[in-house]
Amino acid sequence: MDKTIRRVTDPEEEQAETYRYWNSLPIGDRLVAISELSQEAYAFAAAFKGAPANDEQGLSRDPGSVQRARG
């Protein structure tokens, strides 16, 4: 993985550099990065709320089934 640090002062050039970087990665690497970012975001949100990041209870309610009235 390229660890080059680039200094960019123009916001438009920064965005273009970001797009170039992500487009240079293989799709598998991009998907792994998305998964890792999602896990970190959920862990951060859980810590912010004071809840455990890996809640073993799973869903807080039973999804059950939805029945619609016939009409």
Residue 25 placed within a domain: yes
The pLDDT of residue 41 is 92
| Percent of residues, the chain, with pLDDT higher than 70 | 70
Residue 66 placed within a domain: no
Residue 28 placed within a domain: yes
Summarize pLDDT for 37-65 with one digit per residue, the tens: 999 999 898 888 876 656 555 545 555 56
Token pair 């992500």: residue: 22
Residues 6+ apart with CB under 8 A from 52: 46
Summarize pLDDT for 19-36 with one digit per residue, the tens: 998 999 999 999 999 999
Residue 20 placed within a domain: yes
Domain count for the chain? 1
Token pair 């799973």: residue: 58
Task: Give me the domain span that covers residue 19.
Answer: 11-49
CA–CA distance, 30 with 35 (Å, rounded to integer): 9
Residue 1 placed within a domain: no
CA–CA distance, 14 with 18 (Å, rounded to integer): 6
Residue 33 placed within a domain: yes
Residues in the chain: 71
